[in-house]
Structure 1
Amino acid sequence: MFKIVRKSVQFGASEIILETGRMARQADGAVLVTYGETMVLVCATADKTVRPGADFFPLGVHYQERSWAAGRIPGGFIKRETRPSEKEILTSRLIDRPLRPLFPKGYTLDTQVVATVISYDGVHQPDIPAMIGASAALAISGLPFDGPIGGARVAHIDGQLVLNPSVEQMASSRLDLVVAGTDKAVTMVESEVDFLSEEEMLDAVMFGFEGFQPVVTLIRELAAECAKPRMAVEAPVVDAALQEQVRQGYLEEIRAGYQVVEKLARQNAVGECRKRAIAALSAENSALAAEVASIFSHLEAEVIRERILSTGTRIDGRGLTDVRQIVSEVSLLPRVHGSALFTRGETQALAVVTLGTGRDEQIVESLDGESRDAFYLNYTFPPYSVGETGRMGAPGRREIGHGKLATRAVAAILPEKDSFPYTVRAISEITESNGSSSMATVCGVVLAMMDAGVPIKAPVAGIAMGLVKEGERFAVLSDIMGDEDHFGDMDFKVAGNAQGITALQMDIKITGINREIMAVALRQARAGRIHILERMQSTLAEPRADLSNYAPRIFTMKINPDKIREVIGSGGKVIRGITEETGCQIDITDDGTITIAAVDGQSAKAAETIIRRIVEEVEAGQVYEGKVVRVTDFGAFVNILPNKDGLVHISQLSGQRVAKVTDVVKEGDVVKVKVLDVDRQGRIKLTMKDV
């Protein structure tokens, strides 16, 4: 019934197995990837008919984690998987980016890749098997995929590079690097780094590239045995006569349009030229409008790229390594905890930092269980930032991806929780955009954190690099604009400082790049980010010594875990009383750590004093001022500490003989007492003699 084909190879510390023919046989291509006891089913399918009017490649990649794969039940009220998590969205993008450039022009069928984690062992992360499975499923599907690709994760542990580390190993790694590519070149890089040098990063990228080559070979072997016949795709036929008409009539005007430095004015000039070309050349045949627009776009690319390669001059007149003008400001918003406005050319990010307590941590549910993030960064890209209207609402995949990249860039500079027990939420609102808004976000957020008084380890900056490559000629561009990204061959983002790199992301639109080009890009990126850092530090050189008046004050103290029950009280009565009396927010962890958050230090000190009195151990010889809470014939009970009453026997009320207790004290009196003894049952004996 089943015609199963299975291939395997050693991949890092474990064997990876690719299997097809048993599951999901109605998909165009389906591969079950097993790595350790982690299993991912990846299916690739394409529609059989072209969507009317389709002039682009509609690829959808969907990575999904099933909680049952790890023996878990989803939290919350709805006990099933619903909308994708941030992790699933980011992994979908991770898989999409190296696949998309490998489909030929002219292929416009709706194509979908679905990767489902169906078993998770807690050791082997499922994202790399999902990427490999996507490549394998497409390779055997018969779809026009010019792969296969491979992918690998690289760690840096104790000075050594490790291929496909375990989840446990990653906890001690200075690097989380994912590399993807073909058998010839690297096409995608994504990383979070703890200040490694450019040379170390290059070595890590090439280590990953060489490490996944056996997987590329394995997929080729699988495809050779069971791939369906490749679908024929007709390359778009260009009307040579029409192409020449557009060139002769509008090339010089396009060149003139791209001499305009200001973005919107340039777009208007080129846009008007495009409209006239379409109107003139498709007046007698409206069906030619799309073809004229396509030819016009190719001429735009030719003008921009040739100018860069021939003269080293870019659209706005800059040289290859020049960074646009930078203006940075802080403390713009009076009632927030920290704020900054970072402007680089026509890209601008408004960054805001809010400080909170442990209750404000982001709760994350994943296959590994529930975790909490004390730092999170939200990136927003409203349509007005590019002078357009558009969808508003929940963040899209691009916004989540850009936010995560910026998060990775600043993760290495965050203070330790022990020294700065705050939850930090960073926001980046992109108010203008003309390229590299994610790197502007890094710069803005770093300034806003310093403005908020967050004691970061060191400031970092980010820069986006581009590439124009024709044959053997190439030019690497520093601080690319939107048009250079659109018409260029690479988007290479690097964050860090002079000490090293904290994040690196690379996407390639061509078949790949070599070590030489990456080395040039990293070298230029280092010079660029140091330049940007100098501009940032001229605005604010170091974190402010004091927090905003509107930020909470957080103090921590440690008590014996056995005393937690006394601080909380029956039904939470005691801790609620402290909160009501002082106005503080109080959190207690199982190890006895108490966090007190208050609007001012005086309130926090009052709460701390009350708690210390609750947990204080009563010892013989100590003197207290207490309140008489009950009077009996044989003595008076005095409250000396919260929930701690002691007895002053009638014989201990005075140095003279006392006939009646009420002759000396009455209920409600405040008196000074000394502890005589605390017996084994915790009963406290007090005296008022000679106190």
Structure 2
Amino acid sequence: MAVDKLKQQKHEVSVEIGGRTITFETGWLAKQAAGSVLVREQNSAVFVAVTRADPRPGLGFFPMTVEYREKTSAAGKFPGGFFKREARPSAKEILTMRMTDRPLRPMFKEGYVDETQINGMAMSADPDLDPDMLMINGGSCATMLSGLPFDGPVGAVRMGRVNGEFVVNPTYDQVDEGELNMVVAGTLDGISMVEAGANELTEDQIIEALQVAHESIVKLCKAQLELVEKVGVEKYDWTPPEGPPEEFVNEIREKYYADFKKTIRIKGKHERTAALKEIKNRAVEEYNGEDEESQAKARLAGKIVGGFKYDALRDIILNE
């Protein structure tokens, strides 16, 4: 991948979150990555790079991988004892990967299936602060800088509550002492992910925490957009795939949607899954044939029926 001249220049943007400054820096690390950023908060620094492989036509899923490691060198140490090397990812690292994946994956454009990797590493660790929120924000920022078809930015903060006051990105001690430990991710327009544990807080208190969190998320998103504007990111040349013909979608919907909506109400998980799979198989078998065109049509029919899950659940929740 060619190195863009603008990406060789150092750019940075800072924003104050929770009384501390978070800085996004780019242009001097991993210049050949599609997008890279170093996110700092006090003595914590997390580096994130986004890379993309060449397109593979016909791929039926989005192969995105998130990798995050907290090297012992980030704390000024090296592994000792029996194992002298870094081991497999810890539970903490795996959870951080998942928290990064969840808010970012849905923001990629529908139909984009190029293999994409988001690699993060804690370069420096502040003894008082968890670097996981820097990974989520850095993953979003690096993806924005890559120019990939991504409807970001995404911001993330951790919310705590100490002595009745909400704290944005609390320290380890504040999390231990407080009544709330909640991770909130979202965009300029709203919240997309919440993961929380709390000590018997009321619904109003949780809603207030979400509102406070979103105010900081908006600041983080605006900072990322400012950095993207400074760099002058060029969008990746990507054309969305054509969707299935409307007539074919309507035909499948008329035949199978009513049964699908009825079946999705089955309470037993295994029974429901088996019944929904049977409906999907019926659709595939109806259109399947020996020639390649029929097989492609059968796969498309199965995909359309599988997509009924979202329509049916939304229909039941909103209208019934």
Q: Shared fold (TM-score greater than 0.5)?
A: yes
Tell me which protein shows more helix as a share of its residues: 2
Quote the offset at 1:279 in angstroms. Answer: 2.1
Amino acid of the residue matched to residue 24 of structure 1? Answer: A
Q: Distance in 2 between matches of 1:260 and 1:196?
A: 33
Shift of 1:111: 1.1
What is the 5 A alignment of 1:280-359?
280-283=286-289, 285-310=294-319, 312=320
Task: Indicate the residue corresponding to 1:246 in structure 2.
Answer: 252
Secondary structure of 1:80's aligned partner: coil
Deviation at 1:195, TM superposition (A): 2.0
Stretch of structure 1 that moved more, 194-203 or 267-276: 267-276
Q: For 1:171, what is the secondary structure of its paired residue?
A: helix
Contact 1:179–1:188 (8 Å) recurs in 2 = yes
Which secondary structure does the structure 1 equivalent of 2:199 belong to?
strand
Provide the rounded CA distance (Å) in 1 between the counterparts of 2:84 and 2:125: 19
1:277 to 265, 268, 283: 283
Which of residues 205, 209, 214 is equivalent to 1:204? 209
Aligned equivalent of 2:172, options 167, 173, 185: 167
Aligned pair in 2 of structure 1 residues 119, 289: CA closer, same or farther (>3 Å)? same
> 2:136 corresponds to which letter in structure 1?
M
How far does the alpha carbon of each residue in 1:560-616 deviate from its partner, in whole angstroms, 9 at most, with x for none? xxxxxxxxxxxxxxxxxxxxxxxxxxxxxxxxxxxxxxxxxxxxxxxxxxxxxxxxx
Task: Please tell me whether residue 132 in structure 1 is matched to residue 137 in structure 2.
Answer: yes
The question of 1:88 aligning with 2:93 is answered yes
Task: Count residues with an aligned counterpart.
Answer: 310
- Aligned twin of 2:112: 107
CA distance in 2 between counterparts of 1:301 and 1:163 reads 34
Residue pairs, 1:622-641, within 5 angstroms: none
User: Could you tell me how far apart the structure 1 residues matched to 2:265 and 2:173 are?
Assistant: 54
Please tell me whether the aligned partners of residues 144 and 233 of structure 1 are also in contact (alpha carbons under 8 angstroms).
no
Deviation sequence 1:492-521 (CA, Å, 0-9, x none): xxxxxxxxxxxxxxxxxxxxxxxxxxxxxx
Task: Pick from 183, 186, 189 the counterpart of residue 194 of structure 2.
Answer: 189
| Contact 1:15–1:36 (CA under 8 A) maintained in structure 2 | yes
Contact 1:139–1:227 (CA<8 Å) still a contact in 2? no
Partners of 1:194 and 1:207 in 2: CA distance: 18
Q: Taking structure 1 as reference, are residues 36 and 270 closer, same or farther at Cα in structure 2, changes over 3 Å only?
A: closer
Q: 1:62 to 1:276 in 2, by over 3 A?
A: same
Secondary structure of the structure 2 residue equivalent to 1:250? helix
Matched residues in 2 for 1:307 and 1:167: separation? 42
Aligned CA RMSD, in angstroms, stands at 2.1
| Distance in 2, Cα, partners of 1:256 & 1:12 | 48
Alignment match, 1:148: 153
Deviations 1:531-578 (A, max 9, x none): xxxxxxxxxxxxxxxxxxxxxxxxxxxxxxxxxxxxxxxxxxxxxxxx
Task: Give the CA deviation at 1:244.
Answer: 2.9
Q: Is the 8 A contact 1:105 1:236 kept in 2?
A: no
Against the structure 1 CA distance between its residues 304 and 127, is the aligned structure 2 distance closer, same or farther, given a 3 Å change threshold? closer
- Relative to structure 1, the CA distance from residue 267 to residue 36 in structure 2 (aligned partners, 3 Å threshold; closer, same or farther) is closer
Distance in 1, matches of 2:284 and 2:214, equals 45
- Which residue of structure 2 lines up, in the alignment, with residue 36 of structure 1? 42
Corresponding residue number in structure 2 for 1:319: none
Amino acid at match of 2:36: A
After superposition, the Cα gap between the structure-2 partners of 1:264 and 1:194, relative to the gap in structure 1 and judged at 3 Å, is closer
Amino acid at match of 2:29: M
Look up the equivalent residue of 2:297 and give its one-letter code: L
Which is richer in strand? Answer: 1
Q: What amino acid does structure 1 have at the position aligned with 2:224?
A: I
Q: Is the 8 A contact 1:142 1:227 kept in 2?
A: no
Name the SS for the 2:23 alignment partner.
Answer: strand
Give the distance between the partners of 2:169 and 2:261, measured in 1 at CA: 48
Task: Give the AA of the match of 2:300.
Answer: E
Tell me how far 1:68 sits from its aligned partner.
0.8
Tell me whether 1:9 sits opposite 2:15 in the alignment: yes
- Higher Rg of the two aligned structures: 1
Once the two structures are superposed, what CA deviation does each residue of 1:80-127 show, in whole Å capped at 9, x if it has no partner?
A: 212000110011111111111111110111111111001112123211
Measure the CA separation in 2 of the matches of 1:161 and 1:258: 40
Runs of 5+ in structure 2 lacking a partner? none
SS at match of 1:107: coil
TM value normalised by structure 1? 0.43
Secondary structure of the equivalent of 1:195? coil
- CA distance in 1 between partners of 2:257 and 2:77 (Å): 61
> SS state of the match for residue 272, structure 1?
helix
* Deviation at residue 31 of structure 1 after TM alignment: 0.1
How many Å separate the matches in 1 of 2:228 and 2:201? 38
- The SS at the match of 2:149 is coil
Whole-Å separation in 2 of the counterparts to 1:261 and 1:16: 46
What SS does the aligned partner of 1:230 have?
A: coil
**Is the alpha carbon distance of 1:164 and 1:304 closer, same or farther for their aligned partners in structure 2, counting shifts above 3 Å?**
closer
SS of residue matched to 1:290: helix
- C-alpha contact (below 8 Å) 2:34/2:52 kept by paired residues: yes
Q: Is the CA contact (8 Å cut-off) linking 1:148 and 1:220 kept in structure 2?
A: yes
TM-score by length of structure 2 reads: 0.89
3-state SS of paired residue (2:66): strand
Q: How does 1:443-482 map to 2 (within 5 A)?
A: none
Whole-Å separation in 1 of the counterparts to 2:267 and 2:198: 36
Higher relative contact order (CA 8 A, sep 6+): 2
User: Counterparts in 2 of 1:43-82, with a 5 A limit?
Assistant: 43-50=49-56, 53-82=58-87
Letter in 2 for 1:247: R
**What does residue range 218-617 of structure 1 map to in structure 2 within 5 Å?**
218-231=223-236, 232-255=238-261, 257-258=263-264, 262-283=268-289, 285-310=294-319, 312=320
2:279, 2:172 → 1: CA distance?
55
Amino acid at match of 1:273: I
Partners of 2:261 and 2:193 lie apart in 1 by 32
How far apart are 1:180 and its partner, in Å? 1.0
Return structure 1 stretches of 4+ with deviation > 6 angstroms.
none
Conservation of the 8 A alpha-carbon contact between 2:187 and 2:217: no
